[in-house]
Amino acid sequence: MSAVPHLFQPVTFRSVTARNRITVSPMCQYSAEDGLGNDWHIQNLGAKAAGGAGIVFTEATHVSAIGRITPGCLGLWNDAQEAFLARLAALISRLGAVPGIQIAHAGRKASVTPPWEGNKPIPHAAGGWTPLAPSAIPFGEGYTIPEALRPGQIAEIVGQFAATARLARRAGFKIAEIHAAHGYLLHSFLSPLANHRDDSYGGDLAGRSRALMEVIDAVRGEWPAELPLFVRLSCTDWVEGGFTLEEAVMLAKRLKARGDVDLIDCSSGGASPAQRIPSLHPGYQVPFAERIRHEAGIATGAVGLIRDPFHAEEILGNGRADLVFLARALLADPAWPQRAARSLGLTPELPPQYQRAHLA
């Protein structure tokens, strides 16, 4: 190809430029201890940075102990966690990628076992805790009934998001993403399936999005104006009566108008076990990114079983999204970006230690 493929064109958000548009999506590893990461996290994300991705996100990094999904989830609320994540951010940067951190609170989906143990609720007697949510509605049958948050508790959690953003800035991360998807706390405020409040945090979309807006304000208070801020949304709940794509577009327009959010990471689902996705196929969520990009005029990230380099190139080349977020493809092959470069007619850039791989 005579021109550089869109997938490998640099992209800039505020003062931050990534070498390409391949983004390592946040992927929970359930391997931390008391929120503190270890060598697993270093090798996992280090390999993906060395593999050539442009932006490398941490897994969901939680703002408090009771905000974790599982006891093995990563957190950032103390100095030891900050020191570890500073090491991780420095490694990602040294390998040529932009370090990003996803800031999260699990809400009513907290206090469960990891996927390989069934995502089962953990009873208090076994070390579990009571989840927090906008309303006292459990995620599904057999799940712990969450505590409905009082306004003062919401304010406390907003402050925890801000504190985590402050620690993330000090640790050297260059992009922050607020997790408001997949049924976790901020998504559960957005979704009518989980939010039955009759105060200013419930009701219409303005009320249901109030918690998210307060978190954005608080995070921006700690996150420098020259650094980009992303928001991950579930653009539909895939359940009748849940959060809809039309509401996601309305919310994205509001975020665009505010001017403090730079990109919407467009995912879906996670609010209810009753969700029904009509067809799971490569790119099944790309239309969400495309519609929000064109109707709200804000940059978007496309996700959802994107595995083929030519498919990723089509998404970007046709203006359907600004970034592609990859998960399973990069779990299977951290060097996917290098292989994609070859497929698209480029000579991949490799760390000098890996130069002999050009012959592979």
Active site residues: 184
Name the helix (H) or strand (E) containing 46: helix 39-50
Q: What is the DSSP letter of 112?
A: B
Cβ-proximal residues to 282 (8 Å cutoff; 6+ apart), any chain = 304, 305, 306, 307, 308, 311
Render the burial of 139-159: b for 16+ CB within 10 Å, e for the rest.
beeebbebbebeeeebeebbe
Q: What does DSSP say about strands 16-18 and 11-13: parallel, antiparallel, or unpaired?
A: antiparallel
Q: 17 pairs with which residues across the strands? A: 12
Region of residue 118 (phi > 0: left; psi between -120 and 50: alpha; otherwise: beta): left
Token pair recorded at residue 81:
């966690």
Cβ-proximal residues to 56 (8 Å cutoff; 6+ apart), any chain = 23, 24, 45, 48, 49, 92, 97, 98, 99, 100
> Cα–Cα distance between 202 and 199 in angstroms, integer?
6
State the amino acid at position 178 in one-letter form: I
> Cα–Cα distance between 95 and 147 in angstroms, integer?
43
Is residue 269 within 8 A of residue 234, CB to CB? The reply is: yes
- How far, CA to CA in Å, does 232 sit from each of 62, 203, 252? 15, 22, 11
